[in-house]
Amino acid sequence: MNNTAVLRINCPDRKGLVAAVSSLLYNHGANITHADQHQDHQAGLFFMRVEWMLNGFDLDAFTEAFRSTAAELQMQWRLNVTAEAPRVAIFVSQHLHCLVDLLHRQQAGELHCSIPLIVSNHRNAEGLARFYGVEFRYISVEPGAKADAEEEQQRLLSERAVDLIILARYMQILSPAFVREYPARIINVHHSFLPAFVGARPYHAAFRRGVKLIGATSHYVTETLDEGPIIEQDVMRISHRDQVEDLIQKGRDIEKVVLSRAVKWHLEHRILCYGNKTVVFD
């Protein structure tokens, strides 16, 4: 992992935006390693992601100068330094395949983050958490007492200074109040090709409908269930030979891949949200 800065910009489209940003960077001596931009012509919007080396670069001076350019051009922007690994909490219920996958990827260096916390409403992830040296917190969600559970969850998230929450097959619905605290900072995996089969038991619904492909979707969580901005989707072929149990088992492989890609892209600051969509710069 290089020591770089990543700047993401989202603003009304107009002439000269790339010239303005790239010239400013050049004038500060930036060695750009990646740059990408996108225009949504219909919406009249411009998106940019640029990454450059920080060795010998005066980031404060650049930020100071950029601030006024950004104000002038009505830019919304975020500047991240890749040396600071984001802090991630994973929420999980009974099915552990996504958790196992994420923990190994983090350990193998695929995911640039630290994982200070695993939260679950079941106890079966505890051994795994201990093996990977991650704090495990069992928080049961009792009927009618979700507010209490969420209060405890939020206290922990705050104390552990968590930047990103991953719902790795966490089968509880978070309250709107909770979700509002973490805009574009909660990533969920839904086990269907959204918008098909919103809600509970999507593999059962897919089986009943007789589809020939099953899918999975990772998305940012918003207040409306399964309707947040989609980050990644994938599908897998099935046949009439597959029973519901086969769909559930085969589907896990796409859930893992689709969730881990979304997390990786988020951690590398590759995603820009606008409206209910994402731009993902690869």
Q: Which residues bind its own copies (CB under 8 A)?
A: 15-16, 18-19, 22-23, 25-26, 29-42, 96-97, 100, 104, 108, 110, 127, 131, 193-197, 209-213, 215, 229-235, 237, 239-241, 243, 249, 253, 257, 275-280, 282
Sign of dihedral through CA atoms 72, 75, 76, 81? Answer: negative
Closer to its own copies by Cβ: residue 109 or 144: 109
HEC letters along 203-232: HHHHHHHCCCEEEEEEEECCCCCCCCCEEE
Which pair of tokens denotes residue 216? 């999975």
Nearest distance from C-beta of residue 1 to its own copies, angstroms: 11
Count Cβ neighbours within 10 Å for each residue of 16-31 and write b for 16 or more, e otherwise. ebeebbbeebeebebe
- Minimum CB separation of residue 47 from its own copies in Å reads 8
Residue whose CB is less far from its own copies, 181 or 253: 253
| AA letter at 189 | V
- Least distance from C-beta 80 to its own copies, angstroms? 20
Cβ nearer to its own copies, comparing 79 with 235: 235
Q: What is the dihedral of CA 106, 265, 122, 243, to 10 degrees?
A: -110
CB of 224 to its own copies, least distance (A): 13
**Pick 105 or 137: Cβ nearer its own copies:** 105
Shortest spacing between CB 275 and its own copies, in angstroms: 8
Strands 32-40 and 114-120: unpaired
Contact indicator for 3, 53 with CB cutoff of 8 Å: yes
What are the catalytic residues?
226
Question: In the complex with its own copies, which residue's Cβ is closer, 37 or 69?
Answer: 37
User: Closest by alpha carbon to 269, among 6, 9, 2, 61?
Assistant: 6
Dihedral sign computed on CA atoms, order 5, 10, 280, 205? positive
